[in-house]
């Protein structure tokens, strides 16, 4: 902050509890000898600012004036005529409050702390303060708790992570641990069980204004007076992942996108979120406090925010087949952390229809990506929620049951998949009728499960009947019909009947190229399957070039780590080995 005799003004801004005031105090103490005067003012309101300037006049010149205004004028005059001072303005709520005073100063140093991240461009050089690094946060927690032995560090690191490396939260935790002689793991458990009480317990007993709960409550009360939507949006953000939520999740479904953008801007201005053109991030401890019931945050408010978060995620999902629409995969990957966070923060009995759809579709995507364990967990939860909300025979429940069976099948658990497929088909025939599209899908999936289990005596007739019905109802070129034709060819191949399998694979690939295009995942599957049939027929001259072309396309379209790419790569290796 030293730079000649001209006035230098810096504004340290950041989230409440990040250590702005502590940093300013440390600077003032460390550099006290460098200044002719150091004066600290709690400037959280215009009244307190003027009171602090008046107190400066009284300190320097006794009773310099008979009223506050006279004393303020005297103090400003003194600062104008005496260089070399440091004035700390702590916890400024509105930069505009400082303009009448800072404009009169042309010498000395002014250090400002504020939660406000914007509005400083005409007054000061803004300096953003972030949370500590994990190592530094763990060190601070170790010192504050007295648990400095190396054996304590893993638990301290885990707790520091949970507290988001926020200095005030670390000080509170360390003091509580030291005062009550408990372990970091014990504190972590108390934090889960009694978050409201823990967040409201100060590091120094009696200093209740120095707690995370009070610090942020005051900020939110200020925001609520002029932008109540901002507080509601922060409550919604509490039920999602802390980092990089796509911004359009919040703005796209809104009736008033302008109001949403202004609310986000307000939260960012008070350092409650980090806002970019494309994303929103929020400190994990801010989320934890926003999820915690207290006198200012009722259970009804929390429930509404939780359900709104699920609804917004559901609306934000792509609506096309997540297994085959490659163009949506980047969107899925951006949303996945928020789906994972939401489900980890909620319990199945809190799930809504939106949650059921969200988990159903996410499980479908994950299964296609080879993440079978998580896909099964989501599909099971979605199915149980649909039964609870809709009943066992609702069409939505039948769909979720089919998807659960498919998740089991994708994970290789045919012992659970086949009975569930059979139950789904039986209910679909009764509720929807034999020609309903969902019924045809159930028949196709059950036949495929029979085929994968080696039960070709049941698989082939069911595939044949499904193909006949799909051709009649949907037409010969419908994607579902192409799928049935491919699956029947696979059943013939499984039975060793390559004379029927190969022509059917060739016809399926020809139609897929025409209907779906060369880069569609189903087309790539058809090409791989035909190459496999050629290989099994001993025709490596056709199998290997087809594998090579298919692998090249799969690497370009699906990526090197997609399950289908892995299968094609393995098949090509086997074919090349056999051809040597």
Sign of the dihedral defined by the CA atoms of residues 306, 311, 312, 316, in that order: positive
86, β-bridge pairs: 38, 109
Determine the pLDDT at residue 574. Answer: 92
Tokens of 144: 């504050």
Contact 203, 174 (CB under 8 A): yes
In angstroms, rounded to a whole number, what is the distance separating the alpha carbons of residues 565 and 515?
22
Tokens of 133: 């690094």
In angstroms, rounded to a whole number, what is the distance separating the alpha carbons of residues 210 and 147?
23
- Helices (DSSP H) in 369-478: which residue ranges? 372-390, 395-410, 414-431, 437-452, 456-474
Determine the pLDDT at residue 210. Answer: 61
The low-confidence residues of the chain, meaning pLDDT below 50, are 1-4
Q: Is 285 exposed, middle or buried (0-12, 13-18, 19+ CB in 10 A)?
A: buried
In angstroms, rounded to a whole number, what is the distance separating the alpha carbons of residues 355 and 338?
12
Determine the pLDDT at residue 194. Answer: 82
Determine the pLDDT at residue 206. Answer: 54
**Residues 289-307: tens digit of each pLDDT:** 888 887 778 889 999 999 9
CA 169 vs CA 194, 286, 292, 533: distances in Å: 15, 11, 15, 63
Contact 156, 142 (CB under 8 A): yes
Determine the pLDDT at residue 286. Answer: 87
- Name the residue among 460, 461, 455, 402 with its Cα closest to residue 431: 402
**pTM for this predicted structure:** 0.81
Determine the pLDDT at residue 1. Answer: 47
In angstroms, rounded to a whole number, what is the distance separating the alpha carbons of residues 88 and 93?
14
């Amino acid at each position: 902050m030293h730079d000649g005799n001209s006035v230098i003004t810096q504004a340290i801004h950041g989230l409440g509890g990040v250590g702005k005031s502590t940093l300013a105090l440390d600077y003032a103490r460390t550099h006290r000898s460098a200044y002719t005067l150091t004066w600290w003012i709690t400037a959280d309101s215009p009244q307190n600012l003027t009171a602090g300037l008046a107190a400066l006049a009284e300190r320097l010149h006794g009773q310099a004036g008979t009223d506050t205004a006279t004393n303020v004028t005297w103090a400003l005059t003194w600062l104008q005529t005496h260089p070399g001072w440091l004035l700390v303005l702590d916890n400024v709520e509105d930069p505009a409050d400082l303009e009448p005073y800072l404009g009169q100063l042309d010498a000395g140093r002014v250090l400002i702390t504020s939660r406000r991240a914007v509005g400083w461009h005409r007054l000061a050089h803004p300096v953003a303060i972030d949370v500590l690094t994990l190592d530094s946060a763990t060190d601070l927690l170790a010192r504050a708790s007295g648990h400095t032995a190396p054996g304590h560090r893993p638990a301290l690191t885990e707790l520091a992570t949970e507290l988001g490396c926020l200095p005030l939260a670390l000080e509170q935790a360390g003091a509580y641990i030291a005062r009550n002689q408990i372990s970091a793991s014990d504190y972590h458990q108390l934090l889960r069980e009694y978050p409201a009480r823990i967040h409201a317990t100060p590091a120094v007993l009696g200093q209740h204004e120095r707690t995370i709960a009070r610090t942020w409550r005051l900020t939110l009360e200020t925001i609520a007076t002029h932008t109540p939507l901002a507080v509601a949006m922060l409550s919604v953000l509490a039920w999602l992942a802390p980092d990089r939520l796509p911004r359009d999740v919040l703005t796209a479904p809104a009736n008033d996108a302008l109001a949403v953008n202004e609310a986000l801007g307000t939260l960012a201005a008070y350092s409650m979120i980090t806002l970019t053109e494309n994303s929103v991030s929020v400190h994990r401890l801010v989320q934890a406090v926003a999820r915690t019931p207290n006198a200012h945050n009722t259970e009804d408010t929390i429930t509404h925010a939780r359900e709104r978060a699920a609804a917004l995620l559901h609306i934000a999902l792509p609506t096309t087949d997540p297994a085959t629409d490659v163009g949506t995969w980047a969107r899925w990957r951006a949303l996945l952390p928020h789906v994972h966070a939401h489900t980890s923060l909620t319990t199945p009995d809190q799930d809504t229809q939106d949650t059921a759809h969200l988990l159903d579709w996410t499980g479908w995507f994950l299964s296609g990506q080879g993440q079978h364990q998580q896909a099964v967990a989501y599909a099971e939860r979605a199915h149980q929620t649909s039964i609870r909300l809709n009943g066992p025979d609702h069409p939505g429940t039948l769909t979720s049951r089919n998807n659960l069976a498919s998740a089991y099948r994708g994970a290789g658990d045919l012992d659970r998949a086949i009975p569930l497929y059979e139950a789904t088909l039986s209910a679909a025939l009764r509720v929807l009728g034999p020609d309903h599209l969902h019924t045809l899908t159930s028949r196709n999936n059950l036949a495929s499960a029979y085929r994968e289990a080696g039960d070709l005596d049941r698989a082939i007739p069911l595939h044949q009947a499904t193909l006949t019905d799909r051709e009649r109802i949907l037409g010969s070129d419908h994607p579902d019909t192409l799928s049935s034709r491919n699956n029947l060819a696979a059943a013939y191949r499984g039975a060793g009947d390559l004379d029927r399998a190969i022509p059917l694979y060739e016809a399926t690939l020809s139609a897929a190229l025409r209907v779906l295009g060369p880069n569609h995942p189903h087309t790539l599957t058809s090409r791989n399957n035909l190459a496999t049939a050629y290989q099994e027929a001993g025709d490596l001259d056709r199998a290997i070039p087809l594998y090579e072309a298919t692998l090249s396309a799969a690497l370009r379209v699906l990526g090197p780590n997609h399950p289908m790419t892995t299968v094609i790569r393995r098949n090509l290796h086997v074919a090349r080995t056999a051809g040597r």
